[in-house]
Structure 1
Amino acid sequence: MTPTDLRIRPYTAADEAAVLQLFRSNLAPYFTPPEEAEFRQFLRVEVVAGGLPYFVAELPDWPGLVAAGGYALNAVHAVLTWGMVERRLHGQGLGRAFTAFRVQECRRAYPGRAIEIGTSQHTAAFYAKLGFRTLSVEPDKFAPGLHEVHMLLDADAETGGGR
Protein backbone atom coordinates (compact mmCIF):
# COMPACT_ATOMS: atom_id res chain seq x y z
CA MET A 1 0.00 0.00 0.00
CA THR A 2 1.30 3.43 -0.93
CA PRO A 3 0.05 7.01 -0.57
CA THR A 4 -1.08 6.84 -4.20
CA ASP A 5 -3.59 4.16 -3.14
CA LEU A 6 -5.37 6.63 -0.81
CA ARG A 7 -9.06 7.02 -1.47
CA ILE A 8 -10.16 10.34 0.04
CA ARG A 9 -13.81 11.20 0.46
CA PRO A 10 -15.97 13.57 2.51
CA TYR A 11 -16.71 12.58 6.11
CA THR A 12 -20.24 11.44 6.96
CA ALA A 13 -21.88 10.95 10.36
CA ALA A 14 -21.58 7.18 9.81
CA ASP A 15 -17.77 7.59 10.00
CA GLU A 16 -17.78 8.89 13.59
CA ALA A 17 -16.83 5.64 15.34
CA ALA A 18 -14.02 4.90 12.86
CA VAL A 19 -12.64 8.44 13.12
CA LEU A 20 -12.70 8.22 16.91
CA GLN A 21 -10.65 5.01 16.58
CA LEU A 22 -8.10 6.98 14.53
CA PHE A 23 -8.04 9.58 17.28
CA ARG A 24 -7.53 6.93 19.96
CA SER A 25 -4.69 5.35 17.97
CA ASN A 26 -2.84 8.65 18.42
CA LEU A 27 -3.31 9.11 22.17
CA ALA A 28 -0.07 9.89 23.97
CA PRO A 29 1.75 11.81 22.76
CA TYR A 30 -0.33 13.36 19.96
CA PHE A 31 -3.71 13.74 21.68
CA THR A 32 -4.98 13.46 25.24
CA PRO A 33 -8.08 11.55 26.42
CA PRO A 34 -9.96 14.73 27.47
CA GLU A 35 -9.69 16.03 23.89
CA GLU A 36 -11.93 13.22 22.64
CA ALA A 37 -15.12 14.92 23.85
CA GLU A 38 -14.08 18.18 22.14
CA PHE A 39 -13.30 16.28 18.94
CA ARG A 40 -16.62 14.42 19.00
CA GLN A 41 -18.42 17.74 19.49
CA PHE A 42 -16.46 19.21 16.56
CA LEU A 43 -17.52 16.33 14.30
CA ARG A 44 -21.19 16.53 15.30
CA VAL A 45 -21.66 20.30 15.47
CA GLU A 46 -19.10 21.88 13.13
CA VAL A 47 -18.84 19.16 10.47
CA VAL A 48 -22.16 17.30 10.33
CA ALA A 49 -24.53 20.09 11.42
CA GLY A 50 -22.43 23.05 10.26
CA GLY A 51 -21.07 21.69 6.99
CA LEU A 52 -17.40 22.36 7.73
CA PRO A 53 -15.20 20.47 5.21
CA TYR A 54 -13.77 17.29 6.72
CA PHE A 55 -12.40 14.24 4.93
CA VAL A 56 -11.48 10.64 5.61
CA ALA A 57 -9.09 8.37 3.73
CA GLU A 58 -9.11 4.64 3.09
CA LEU A 59 -6.58 2.20 1.68
CA PRO A 60 -7.30 -1.04 -0.14
CA ASP A 61 -7.06 -4.05 2.18
CA TRP A 62 -6.82 -1.91 5.34
CA PRO A 63 -9.62 -2.52 7.84
CA GLY A 64 -10.99 0.90 8.61
CA LEU A 65 -10.05 4.48 7.95
CA VAL A 66 -6.39 5.49 7.71
CA ALA A 67 -6.62 9.29 7.94
CA ALA A 68 -9.00 12.13 8.76
CA GLY A 69 -8.79 15.89 8.69
CA GLY A 70 -10.36 19.02 7.35
CA TYR A 71 -10.04 22.73 6.98
CA ALA A 72 -11.85 25.91 7.90
CA LEU A 73 -11.51 29.67 7.60
CA ASN A 74 -10.79 32.05 10.44
CA ALA A 75 -10.72 35.83 10.22
CA VAL A 76 -7.42 35.90 8.31
CA HIS A 77 -6.29 32.46 7.13
CA ALA A 78 -7.43 29.04 6.12
CA VAL A 79 -6.84 26.55 8.95
CA LEU A 80 -6.16 22.82 8.91
CA THR A 81 -8.44 21.09 11.44
CA TRP A 82 -8.08 17.88 13.45
CA GLY A 83 -5.73 15.98 11.15
CA MET A 84 -4.56 12.47 11.99
CA VAL A 85 -3.24 9.26 10.47
CA GLU A 86 -3.68 5.77 11.93
CA ARG A 87 -0.68 5.42 14.23
CA ARG A 88 0.40 2.04 12.83
CA LEU A 89 0.80 3.74 9.43
CA HIS A 90 2.94 6.71 10.52
CA GLY A 91 6.11 7.23 8.49
CA GLN A 92 4.78 5.77 5.24
CA GLY A 93 3.93 9.02 3.44
CA LEU A 94 0.18 8.88 4.05
CA GLY A 95 0.19 11.98 6.24
CA ARG A 96 2.18 13.91 3.66
CA ALA A 97 -0.20 12.89 0.84
CA PHE A 98 -3.32 13.55 2.93
CA THR A 99 -2.03 16.95 4.09
CA ALA A 100 -1.14 17.90 0.51
CA PHE A 101 -4.76 17.10 -0.44
CA ARG A 102 -6.08 19.28 2.39
CA VAL A 103 -3.75 22.16 1.44
CA GLN A 104 -4.92 21.89 -2.17
CA GLU A 105 -8.56 21.97 -1.05
CA CYS A 106 -7.86 25.02 1.17
CA ARG A 107 -6.25 26.85 -1.72
CA ARG A 108 -9.15 26.00 -4.01
CA ALA A 109 -11.72 27.19 -1.44
CA TYR A 110 -9.76 30.23 -0.21
CA PRO A 111 -7.37 31.37 -2.94
CA GLY A 112 -4.58 33.70 -1.90
CA ARG A 113 -4.85 32.88 1.81
CA ALA A 114 -2.08 31.50 3.96
CA ILE A 115 -2.86 28.28 5.81
CA GLU A 116 -2.31 27.93 9.52
CA ILE A 117 -2.27 25.04 11.91
CA GLY A 118 -2.09 24.66 15.67
CA THR A 119 -0.20 21.43 16.26
CA SER A 120 1.97 19.98 19.01
CA GLN A 121 5.72 19.83 19.38
CA HIS A 122 5.46 16.16 18.39
CA THR A 123 4.26 16.92 14.85
CA ALA A 124 5.75 20.38 14.21
CA ALA A 125 8.77 18.93 12.36
CA PHE A 126 6.42 17.03 10.03
CA TYR A 127 4.64 20.27 9.07
CA ALA A 128 7.95 22.15 8.79
CA LYS A 129 9.06 19.64 6.14
CA LEU A 130 5.90 20.54 4.23
CA GLY A 131 6.80 24.23 4.25
CA PHE A 132 4.99 25.48 7.35
CA ARG A 133 6.96 27.88 9.54
CA THR A 134 6.61 28.28 13.29
CA LEU A 135 5.04 31.53 14.45
CA SER A 136 4.80 30.82 18.17
CA VAL A 137 4.80 28.12 20.82
CA GLU A 138 2.39 28.08 23.75
CA PRO A 139 3.68 25.73 26.45
CA ASP A 140 1.17 23.33 28.01
CA LYS A 141 -1.70 24.63 25.81
CA PHE A 142 -3.23 21.20 25.13
CA ALA A 143 -2.14 19.53 28.39
CA PRO A 144 0.84 19.60 30.75
CA GLY A 145 3.87 18.88 28.57
CA LEU A 146 1.82 19.11 25.36
CA HIS A 147 2.56 22.46 23.72
CA GLU A 148 0.76 24.18 20.89
CA VAL A 149 2.99 25.13 17.99
CA HIS A 150 1.27 27.73 15.83
CA MET A 151 2.49 27.37 12.23
CA LEU A 152 1.78 29.03 8.90
CA LEU A 153 2.15 28.02 5.26
CA ASP A 154 2.40 31.19 3.19
CA ALA A 155 -0.15 31.58 0.39
CA ASP A 156 2.51 31.27 -2.31
CA ALA A 157 4.55 28.50 -0.65
CA GLU A 158 5.05 25.15 -2.31
CA THR A 159 4.26 22.22 -0.05
CA GLY A 160 7.34 20.09 0.56
CA GLY A 161 7.40 16.54 -0.63
CA GLY A 162 10.46 15.19 1.15
CA ARG A 163 10.65 13.21 4.33
Structure 2
Amino acid sequence: MASLPLLFRPFEADRDTEAVVQLFRSNLDPYFIPEEEQELRDFIAQPLRYFVAEIAAGHSETGRLVAAGGYALNNPYAVLTWGMVDRKLHGQGLGRDFTVFRLNECRRAYPGKAIEIHTAQLTAGFYEKLGFRTLLVEKDKWAPGLDHCHMLLDADVNL
Protein backbone atom coordinates (compact mmCIF):
# COMPACT_ATOMS: atom_id res chain seq x y z
CA MET A 1 0.00 0.00 0.00
CA ALA A 2 1.31 3.43 -0.91
CA SER A 3 2.40 5.61 2.00
CA LEU A 4 1.02 8.83 0.49
CA PRO A 5 -2.72 9.56 0.66
CA LEU A 6 -3.82 9.33 -2.97
CA LEU A 7 -6.81 10.39 -5.01
CA PHE A 8 -7.37 8.67 -8.37
CA ARG A 9 -9.38 10.72 -10.85
CA PRO A 10 -9.95 11.09 -14.59
CA PHE A 11 -7.31 12.99 -16.54
CA GLU A 12 -8.32 16.54 -17.53
CA ALA A 13 -6.28 17.75 -20.53
CA ASP A 14 -6.40 21.48 -19.71
CA ARG A 15 -5.41 20.90 -16.11
CA ASP A 16 -3.09 17.88 -16.27
CA THR A 17 -1.16 17.73 -19.56
CA GLU A 18 2.00 19.50 -18.44
CA ALA A 19 2.12 17.60 -15.14
CA VAL A 20 1.85 14.29 -17.03
CA VAL A 21 4.67 15.38 -19.35
CA GLN A 22 6.77 16.14 -16.27
CA LEU A 23 6.05 12.62 -14.94
CA PHE A 24 7.20 11.27 -18.30
CA ARG A 25 10.38 13.35 -18.19
CA SER A 26 11.12 12.13 -14.66
CA ASN A 27 11.31 8.62 -16.14
CA LEU A 28 13.59 9.35 -19.09
CA ASP A 29 16.69 7.19 -19.21
CA PRO A 30 16.05 4.35 -18.74
CA TYR A 31 12.24 3.92 -18.91
CA PHE A 32 11.38 6.22 -21.82
CA ILE A 33 13.30 7.92 -24.61
CA PRO A 34 12.93 11.63 -25.43
CA GLU A 35 11.48 10.88 -28.86
CA GLU A 36 8.38 9.41 -27.19
CA GLU A 37 7.31 12.73 -25.65
CA GLN A 38 5.44 13.91 -28.74
CA GLU A 39 3.71 10.52 -29.02
CA LEU A 40 2.54 10.92 -25.41
CA ARG A 41 1.34 14.48 -26.05
CA ASP A 42 -0.59 13.33 -29.14
CA PHE A 43 -2.09 10.42 -27.21
CA ILE A 44 -3.37 12.45 -24.24
CA ALA A 45 -4.76 15.14 -26.56
CA GLN A 46 -7.38 12.61 -27.74
CA PRO A 47 -10.55 11.60 -25.89
CA LEU A 48 -9.51 8.60 -23.84
CA ARG A 49 -9.78 6.61 -20.66
CA TYR A 50 -6.83 8.04 -18.82
CA PHE A 51 -6.37 8.74 -15.13
CA VAL A 52 -4.05 10.52 -12.76
CA ALA A 53 -3.13 9.96 -9.15
CA GLU A 54 -2.67 13.05 -7.05
CA ILE A 55 -1.73 13.54 -3.44
CA ALA A 56 -4.97 13.77 -1.46
CA ALA A 57 -6.05 16.41 1.04
CA GLY A 58 -4.28 16.54 4.35
CA HIS A 59 -0.73 16.38 2.98
CA SER A 60 1.69 19.25 2.39
CA GLU A 61 1.76 18.47 -1.35
CA THR A 62 -2.02 18.12 -1.83
CA GLY A 63 -2.97 18.12 -5.51
CA ARG A 64 0.46 17.22 -6.92
CA LEU A 65 0.24 14.62 -9.68
CA VAL A 66 2.38 11.58 -8.93
CA ALA A 67 1.14 9.01 -11.46
CA ALA A 68 -0.74 8.75 -14.73
CA GLY A 69 -2.02 5.96 -16.94
CA GLY A 70 -5.01 4.59 -18.72
CA TYR A 71 -6.50 1.76 -20.69
CA ALA A 72 -8.18 1.16 -24.03
CA LEU A 73 -9.60 -1.57 -26.21
CA ASN A 74 -7.07 -3.13 -28.58
CA ASN A 75 -8.98 -6.15 -29.88
CA PRO A 76 -8.84 -8.93 -29.04
CA TYR A 77 -7.59 -7.57 -25.70
CA ALA A 78 -7.90 -4.54 -23.52
CA VAL A 79 -4.60 -2.72 -23.05
CA LEU A 80 -2.96 -0.58 -20.36
CA THR A 81 -1.68 2.69 -21.82
CA TRP A 82 1.08 5.14 -20.92
CA GLY A 83 1.49 4.26 -17.24
CA MET A 84 4.07 6.13 -15.19
CA VAL A 85 4.89 7.14 -11.64
CA ASP A 86 7.06 10.05 -10.51
CA ARG A 87 10.52 8.50 -10.52
CA LYS A 88 11.31 9.83 -7.03
CA LEU A 89 8.42 7.73 -5.71
CA HIS A 90 9.30 4.37 -7.29
CA GLY A 91 9.37 1.45 -4.88
CA GLN A 92 6.81 2.85 -2.43
CA GLY A 93 3.75 0.86 -3.58
CA LEU A 94 2.13 3.78 -5.37
CA GLY A 95 2.61 2.20 -8.80
CA ARG A 96 1.06 -1.06 -7.67
CA ASP A 97 -1.96 0.66 -6.12
CA PHE A 98 -2.50 2.84 -9.18
CA THR A 99 -2.05 -0.08 -11.61
CA VAL A 100 -4.55 -2.22 -9.69
CA PHE A 101 -6.99 0.70 -9.85
CA ARG A 102 -6.49 0.92 -13.64
CA LEU A 103 -6.86 -2.84 -14.08
CA ASN A 104 -10.12 -2.82 -12.12
CA GLU A 105 -11.44 0.11 -14.19
CA CYS A 106 -10.42 -1.71 -17.37
CA ARG A 107 -12.17 -4.91 -16.27
CA ARG A 108 -15.36 -2.96 -15.54
CA ALA A 109 -15.25 -1.39 -19.01
CA TYR A 110 -14.30 -4.60 -20.83
CA PRO A 111 -15.50 -7.57 -18.76
CA GLY A 112 -14.07 -10.93 -19.76
CA LYS A 113 -11.19 -9.42 -21.76
CA ALA A 114 -7.60 -10.30 -21.09
CA ILE A 115 -5.45 -7.19 -20.62
CA GLU A 116 -2.19 -6.64 -22.44
CA ILE A 117 0.66 -4.25 -21.90
CA HIS A 118 3.59 -3.26 -24.07
CA THR A 119 6.40 -2.38 -21.70
CA ALA A 120 10.16 -2.53 -21.37
CA GLN A 121 12.17 -5.29 -19.77
CA LEU A 122 12.92 -2.83 -16.94
CA THR A 123 9.31 -2.98 -15.72
CA ALA A 124 8.33 -6.50 -16.81
CA GLY A 125 9.04 -7.88 -13.32
CA PHE A 126 6.61 -5.37 -11.80
CA TYR A 127 3.83 -6.61 -14.09
CA GLU A 128 4.75 -10.28 -13.50
CA LYS A 129 4.07 -9.74 -9.78
CA LEU A 130 0.54 -8.64 -10.74
CA GLY A 131 -0.02 -11.83 -12.74
CA PHE A 132 1.02 -10.81 -16.25
CA ARG A 133 2.92 -13.31 -18.37
CA THR A 134 5.33 -12.49 -21.18
CA LEU A 135 4.19 -13.33 -24.70
CA LEU A 136 7.06 -11.84 -26.70
CA VAL A 137 10.32 -9.97 -26.18
CA GLU A 138 11.86 -7.89 -28.97
CA LYS A 139 15.43 -6.87 -28.13
CA ASP A 140 16.31 -3.19 -28.57
CA LYS A 141 12.91 -2.40 -30.14
CA TRP A 142 12.56 1.10 -28.73
CA ALA A 143 16.23 1.97 -28.31
CA PRO A 144 19.52 0.18 -27.66
CA GLY A 145 19.06 -1.60 -24.34
CA LEU A 146 15.32 -0.90 -24.27
CA ASP A 147 13.48 -4.09 -25.17
CA HIS A 148 9.77 -4.39 -25.97
CA CYS A 149 7.95 -6.89 -23.74
CA HIS A 150 4.44 -7.81 -24.81
CA MET A 151 2.67 -9.14 -21.71
CA LEU A 152 -0.82 -10.45 -20.97
CA LEU A 153 -3.00 -10.70 -17.87
CA ASP A 154 -5.58 -13.41 -18.45
CA ALA A 155 -9.19 -12.44 -17.73
CA ASP A 156 -9.50 -14.96 -14.88
CA VAL A 157 -6.44 -13.81 -12.88
CA ASN A 158 -7.42 -12.34 -9.52
CA LEU A 159 -5.74 -9.13 -8.47
CA displacement 1:116-140 (0-9 Å, x = unmatched): 0000000000000010000000111
CA displacement 1:4-63 (0-9 Å, x = unmatched): 721000001120000000000000110000000111111113xxxxx2100000113336
DSSP 3-state at the match of 1:34 = helix
Q: CA RMSD in A?
A: 1.4
Query: After superposition, where does 1:31-110 map in structure 2 within 5 Å?
Result: 31-45=32-46, 51-59=47-55, 60-62=59-61, 64-110=64-110
One-letter amino acid of the counterpart of residue 153, structure 1: L
- When residues 88 and 80 of structure 1 are mapped into structure 2, their CA distance, relative to the original with a 3 A threshold, is same
Work out whether residues 135 and 151 of structure 2, in 8 Å CA contact, stay in contact via their aligned partners in 1. Answer: yes
1:103 Cα deviation (Å)? 0.4
DSSP 3-state at the match of 2:122 = coil
Residue segments in structure 1 that go unaligned for 5+ positions in a row: 46-50
Work out whether residues 9 and 57 of structure 1, in 8 Å CA contact, stay in contact via their aligned partners in 2. Answer: yes
Bigger shift: 29-38 or 61-70? 61-70
Residue in 2 aligned with 1:16? 17
Bigger shift: 137-146 or 100-109? 137-146
TM-score where L is the length of structure 2: 0.92
DSSP 3-state at the match of 1:29 = coil
DSSP 3-state at the match of 2:149 = strand
Percent of paired sites with the same residue: 66
DSSP 3-state at the match of 2:156 = coil
Residue segments in structure 2 that go unaligned for 5+ positions in a row: none
Q: Give the ranges of 4+ consecutive aligned residues of structure 1 lying more than 3 Å apart after TM superposition.
A: 1-4
Work out whether residues 79 and 116 of structure 1, in 8 Å CA contact, stay in contact via their aligned partners in 2. Answer: yes
Structure 1 distance, partners of 2:125, 2:37, is 24
Structure 1 distance, partners of 2:40, 2:144, is 19
1:75 Cα deviation (Å)? 1.5
DSSP 3-state at the match of 1:30 = coil
CA displacement 1:71-93 (0-9 Å, x = unmatched): 00012011000000000000000
Residue in 2 aligned with 1:140? 140
